[in-house]
Structure 1
Amino acid sequence: MPRHAVVPGQIARSARLTPGAGLWTKPPKSNTLGHAVRDTRESAFGREAPALPPLSPPARKIRPMPSIPLPFIVTAVLLGLLARMLGAQRKQPLFLLFVALCALQTGLVGLRWSLDLSWVKFVQPVSAACLPPLAFAAFDGLRGRKVSARILFWPVSVVVLWFVLPVAIDAVLITEFVVFGLLILRLKLPDTALSQIRIGDEWTVGRARYGVAILLILSALVDTIVALDLAGRAGTTAAPAIAAMMGLILVALAAALFGRAGETIVDSDVAPPPDKTQADSTPSEEVDQDILALVETALEAGLYRDHDLTLQRIARRTGITARKISHAVNRGHGTTVTDLVNGYRVREAMRLLRDSDLPVTQVMLDAGFQTKSNFNRAFRATAGQTPTAYRRSESAG
């Protein structure tokens, strides 16, 4: 994400953060940029003020606690997220790779803060250049698109610029982040593109897409402001240090969004099933009714209770392509497949709330919902009240 936390170009070179600086450590007698802090006896106008006698005996020296730089803490959190994604039943390679790259990026920042290693200055911008195209490829892959070798253009360009014109690296990375942020914002994901997403969680992928795009653009904006600030004040401000902290936050947020979106993708088999409907490419009301009959028969048999139900699984069960199912539901019912499935789930939840004493959480699970947020949202949209209020009103009636 923000290259300022990750890019050793003109901006990053000006932000020589104090080695070993981290949480719980006493700051040295210098500011974040390494400039010496003015002695406390110096007045605000530059004249030396008279020294005052100490008011109390000197305090006993306290042994400093071990330094744990913040970037390493963020890296540990991201590695934990990566381990959870690896333990999922269905693994999404591009989503996993993005989170792993974010963990690498924050780890590199930690090494830069602590040790100021020369090789890190080279790896940081190259790694940063991989993030935007990888994010775009991950979301674009939901539409069945294959990863193009063109995503290597940006990291290769940074490598070339490192040896030819290093001063241009910051400008290239800022441009890259803005371009891919806008591309991800404009990326359209129709229902058929979300056929691998768990029904009811499509909004999670949509929010992740918008969130990552905004973070990319925000990262470019932060670095632009820092670059202008450094150019105007010759690197005498703490803006690079602030940008470094912003970089860590933005990288962590982007990885969290990707991790949450990756967990909703539970079906990686996107091969269309053999189509049992007529081969006629022209849609008709009769064909739509046949498709709806097959879909509703499968749902009435209890398919809606599958917590990991996806449009692709409905397609395999009915032998109809996901595209045809989506279009038939839209034309026949004027709604989406998600709303159709949630209708079955909410009606089952209403029956259980009315006819049983099961806890609301157990009712949610038995009806096919996996999260309380989805359950409450769908139930309120159908019944006009919360599950608890519905049970209370039915008991009173």
Structure 2
Amino acid sequence: MISIPISFLLASVFLGLGVLTFSWRVFPTLTRCLFLALFCVMSLEAVLVGLRFAFANYTFLPLQRVLPVWIAPLVFLSFASLAVSQATLGKWLLVNGVISAGLSVALFLPVPFVGYIDAVIALSFTVYAVALIRLWSQGRDVFTQSPIELGALLSKLLLAAIAVMIATLIIDGLVAILFAQNRPDAAAIAISFASLFFLIASVALIAVGAKWKPGRSRSDDPYVADEAKSRALVDEARGLLKGRGFAKDPQLSLTRLARRLGVPERDLSQAVNRTLGMNVSQFVNSIRLEEAADRLKVSDEPVSSILEEVGFLTRSNFYREFQNQYGEAPGTFRKKAQSELSRSARSSS
């Protein structure tokens, strides 16, 4: 039978992982909260499994069966929170919460099918494993809400999470088969070995996490005293904003941009001010306005659509900033630019 130390020690280790990940302040607060919630739910599940197989206590069996359909989406949302904007994440939280609640209710439906509960849980894990694989396949640059230098680490952790979910599917399938064959002792032994496996893997993660420290931050370099390094940081920021389309996110902030670059907010702000003579907000808006100007030159797309697509929240702010940067309203700019293009085309022909 499953030993008491393994199940409850595993629960303690999961709690330790939750505290550890929550302490990684390099990640956004919501991401840290999601990882903490994930490991707390996993810890509770380990405790309930221990009660069931060590003490034959089935009091909490309904809760123990429900928790897995919340674990899988929490794994996905924890990693996805580092890859999407806050607005998108809010929608995903709502959608996945509704899905998990629906599956929780579905577990209690009187379906006359042996293995129905296991099938529902397996379906949840399979769907979210596929979602995680799709996220991982986009490469380390998908984690736009974390510092660039953490991309490789996060990609490896995501791959490990996928492997654990697949292993869980296999183990749960084996346990379900053993129960169907009326071999509860063999199922308990399988769960014991599975708990031991997860315990070893979790301890290894804690050891790695405890030793992990962010690499030497570029903030150690004196940007303010070194114009070349300040320009290099500004160029990197421009490449991120334009190449990755980061500037188009209307919720973009100095904090998020600095975190994505792996530098303190003060260093980024001073580098932009020293190099360009403007603040970070003006810098971001200038890149948005460049994109808007390019679209105005070659398309008849409504100005209202363009301003939203490049990252502005309000029409008034866009018109004011555009007037300041180009000296005229967007409509006037478009007419002049397209008129010049037409003249150039006729002259060249």
TM, length-normalised to structure 1: 0.47
On the 8 A contact 2:20/2:210 being kept in 1, the answer is no
On the 8 A contact 1:99/1:259 being kept in 2, the answer is no
Distance across 2 between alignment mates of 1:256 and 1:265 = 16
Match of 2:17 in 1: 81
Distance across 2 between alignment mates of 1:213 and 1:202 = 16
Higher helix share: 2
- In the TM superposition, what are the counterparts of 1:188-267 in structure 2 within 5 Å? 188-189=137-138, 193-231=142-180, 233-235=181-183, 238-247=186-195, 249-250=197-198, 253=201
Distance across 1 between alignment mates of 2:149 and 2:44 = 32
**Structure 1 position 149 matched with structure 2 position 98:** no
Name the larger-Rg structure.
1
Describe the SS at the equivalent of 1:234. coil
Describe the SS at the equivalent of 1:122. helix
CA deviation profile, 1:172-193 (whole Å, cap 9, x unmatched): 1112212211210111556664
Distance across 1 between alignment mates of 2:67 and 2:207 = 19
2:104 to 158, 162, 165: 158
Describe the SS at the equivalent of 2:36. helix
- In the TM superposition, what are the counterparts of 1:319-358 in structure 2 within 5 Å? 319=280
Match of 1:129 in 2: 69
Describe the SS at the equivalent of 2:149. coil
On the 8 A contact 2:107/2:120 being kept in 1, the answer is no
**Structure 1 position 311 matched with structure 2 position 253:** no
Equivalenced residues, count? 225
**Structure 1 position 119 matched with structure 2 position 59:** yes
2:42 to 91, 102, 107: 102
How big is the shift at 1:82? 2.7
Distance across 2 between alignment mates of 1:202 and 1:69 = 36
Match of 1:178 in 2: 126
Can you give the 5+ residue segments of structure 1 that lack an aligned partner in the other structure?
1-16, 23-67, 267-289, 299-307, 325-397
Distance across 1 between alignment mates of 2:121 and 2:263 = 41
Give runs of ≥4 in structure 1 deviating > 6 Å.
258-266
CA RMSD of superposed structures (Å): 4.0
CA 255–195 in structure 1, closer or farther in 2 if over 3 Å, else same: farther
**RCO higher in 1 or 2 (8 Å CA, sep ≥ 6)?**
1
CA deviation profile, 1:138-174 (whole Å, cap 9, x unmatched): 1111122313323232353233332423841001111
Describe the SS at the equivalent of 1:165. coil
Match of 2:117 in 1: 169
Can you give the 5+ residue segments of structure 2 that lack an aligned partner in the other structure?
215-229, 239-257, 273-279, 288-349
Q: What letter matches 1:78 in structure 2? A: F
Distance across 2 between alignment mates of 1:221 and 1:81 = 24
- In the TM superposition, what are the counterparts of 1:31-42 in structure 2 within 5 Å? none
Match of 1:335 in 2: none
